Structure formats: structure tokens, C-alpha cells
Structure 1
Amino acid sequence: MRARYPDAFRSHPARRARAFALLAALLAMAVFAAWALDFNPRRIWMGLDRLGLFVSLLFPPDAGGRMPAFLKALGETLAIAFLGTLTAALVAFPVAFLAAKNVVPNVFVHFSLRRVFDVSRSVDTLIWALMWINVVGLGPFAGALAIACSDFGAFGKLFSEAIEAADRKPAEGILAAGGSGVHRVRFALLPQVLPVMASQVLYFFESNTRSATIIGIVGAGGIGGYLTEFIRTLQMQEVCVIIIMILLTVAAIDFVSSRLRFAIIGRKVASA
């Protein structure tokens, strides 16, 4: 192979210099970040005893007779994640077609919508939750709105990129047969992008289950409110119960959504 393709095995000085410069830059950034953040392994070693004490306080897990309330709050967390994810997907779905270059070639529309997506997803879900709490008050409604606002930008970007990456041959065939632009979207683009979109929505629902727990800490509903209150009052056995519940729920959702994603992707490959 080396004799037949010498160029593929030849090491160019300029290429080596660029690779070395890149590695040196990454190393310098890592060293600077460690210095700026006062990263010190000795501090971790000195704090291991306190970590051990913290872990020992978690056991044995004890709900303290609050299990029904915990289950209700966990269901509220799942409802926040589901409603927020579904709302974001439904709103982003039509907007993504407007932001796709191969559907609406207008540069101004494309650029404007992409910047809207950037703004939406650049604000963290926790910040959106704090904003919506001041608008609609405390509770799960604010949490669902926060997840919807954050995911709208992410869905819009992912959906529009999936539409732009779709195969153009079916669309050209429909137009050549006399079909309209609506026919092109309905019969050429949608069958290609819907499985991809569905897979992305399932993944975000799994991720938003964790996000819904976090935003509950600031009063946006769900089991996060119990979690932060028990940590503040050092009721660590109750904290352990809540953590176990969250872990089991996320693991179950991950298992189900993974199977659904593989089924969707496998069906798409089989149909192709």
C-alpha cells in the first residue's frame, strides 16, 4: 500500500506543523482554564472525607411517609417535560420549513429565522424558567413554557437542517410531473424528514426529564422543589429516595425512547 499510494503515507511538514500548533493551543487553553478556575487536585483529596460524610447521610433511604407526594411531584415533572417538548416540536415544525433554503429560498427570511433559533436556544432553560415565573407565576406551567422556549430554537435548527439535507431527486421528480410546491413538501420532503424529527423529539423528551427536575429548584414545579428543600434542611435520606426515583425514571425513559428511535430509524432504512 505504501508503494502504490506514496502520497497517502507521506508526512508533510506543513501538516505536521499545523497539527502540532493545534495541540499546543489546546494544551495552553487547558492550562489557562485550570489556572483561572483554581483547579487543584489537592483540594479534591482534602475534601474526600466530607464527601464520604455526605454520602453516608444518604443511607438508608427513607421517604418519611411522603412517597405519595413524591410520586405526584415526579408525575408533574414528567408532564412538564412532555408538554414542553411537544409544544416546542409543534411550533418549530412549520417554522423549520420556512427556515430551510430548499423550501423558501428568500435569504432575508432564512437569515431572520435562523437568528430567532439562535436566540431561543442560547438562553438556558433555567433562565427561561426564571423569566416565565415572573410572567405566569410559580408552578409547572412556567416550567413547561421554559422548556418549550429553549427547545424551540434547538428543534428549529435541527428540523431545518434535516429538511435541507433531504434528497432532492424525489422533489425534482414531483415538480417534473407537474406537482406544485405544496406537493413537493408533502410527498417528497415529509416522508424523508419525519423519521429524523421523531427521533430527535424522543431524545429531547428524555433530556428534558432531567431539565424539568432542575427548573423545579427555582419554583417551576415538579420534584425539584422537594429536592432543593430537603438538601437545604439536610434531610438526606429523603434526598436519596428522590435521587433513586429520578434515576429509575430517566433509565426507563432512556430504555423506551432508545427502542423507539431504533425502530423509527430501522423502518426508515428498510423503506429506503
Structure 2
Amino acid sequence: MGRDNRSQFHALRARFGNGRGTDRTVLPLGIEEVDHKLPGGGLVRGALHEVAGGANGAVDGAAAAAFAAGVAARTGGRVLWCFAQPDLFPPALAQCGLTLDRVVFFECRDETAILGCFEDALRHGGLSAVVAEIGHLSLKASQRLQFAAEVSGTMGIAVRRWRRQTEARDFGTPTAASTRWRVTELEAQSLPVRGVGPGRWLLELMRARGGECADFEVEAFDNAQGYLGLPAYLADRPAASVAGGRRAAS
């Protein structure tokens, strides 16, 4: 992290305090079919998790950011969001539960600075979650982030964004993240009256350390509480017909 960014981060540290945690519990996503595929029944708090958008979302990152915001909101504490592309829309994050009174947005000059800020914030331990928008994530960098999250108990969420669609191939390279997700926008379900139906996502669990991979069709966060939902026509189906069955990734 450059000197200019370090001074800003130290100011944030003073604002948040210096408490450290060792929380190794899990955060359920709130849908039994999804949590059943995650070791321990949820996302490990003191760990690194990756999220990327599918299809055109690999570039705009809207669905991935919304998913990350909903998860971060439910960690219960202060959240730091690092980015280099100044196109975040805070009211949209608030609809996912991450309101402005709980999040600080930290604009970095480039991805190198983002990685430095990401690691420092995870090591600090005074935040419940740190979200960072980043394109390339090497195995070595992810190992440092995973270790920092484990030590402090802070959840790290890497929102993978690329400037070109072809760069999204980088999402296939190995990292040390505990889970890896891809979130793709689906056509909203029609309402019986004129209006816009609830947003829907294809939520792909592409990697779960010690668990299984699977696909889920879910309703996007729309209740400002950070909870996902199952579409009505899937809610009463047996779990086996809702969740996918790809082989686990170690």
C-alpha cells in the first residue's frame, strides 16, 4: 500500500478502534438448501470468500456486489469497502442491508493499493467484514488474505471485477479462498399485477473447501435485511431438486 493510502487507512483505524477478534463461527445464508452445501452450515467468518458476476456481470459486477453487500451486512459490525472503479451506487447496497451508517468506502488508485488495504484491514481485526473489488488475484496474494482473515476473525470478500469480458478467465485460476461464488442475473419473475417482480439470481457455488459445489436459483436481496429467498415455485420442492450436484472441490 502506498504512503498516501496508509495515512488514510490509519485514520480509519482510529475511527473503528483496535479491537481484535478470533471469531471462527459460520454465517448462514438463510436458505437450508444452500447452507446444507457449506461445511458447518454457512460461510466461515474468519476466511476469504470470492464472488464474481456471471455473463455481462463479470464486467459491471452489479450482482456480485449486491451478493457481497448482503453477506457483509449480516456480519453485524462495521464494513470497509475498497475499490478503484468509482461506480458504486450506495443506495443499491442499502437495499441489500448494507446501510451508509455501517460502511466506509475507500477508493484506491489501483489494484496493488487495493490488495494492500484489503490485507491491512483484515489484519486489523476491528471490522466484521472487508470487501474489495479486484480483478487479478494470485494464489500468493490470496494466501496472505486468507491468513489475515483467519488471525483476526474478520470475513474477507473479494468481489472479482474485470474491465474486459475475456479477462474473466482469471476466475478459473486456483486461490486460497474458502468459497468461490458466481452470481448471474436471471429474468425477474412476473407479478400478477403490473410492476417489476423480485430480482432473481443463478447462484453458483463453484468451490467450497471441504464441501460440495452446487447451483441454486434464488431471489435477490430485496428486504434490506441481507437475506436471500427461494422463488415461490421452488420453495416447496424437495431439496434434491433445488440444489445442484457437482462434485466437491477441495
TM-score of Structure 1 vs Structure 2, range by shorter chain: under 0.3
More strand by share: 2
TM-score calculated relative to the size of structure 2: 0.26
More helix by share: 1
TM-score calculated relative to the size of structure 1: 0.24
Which has the greater radius of gyration? 1
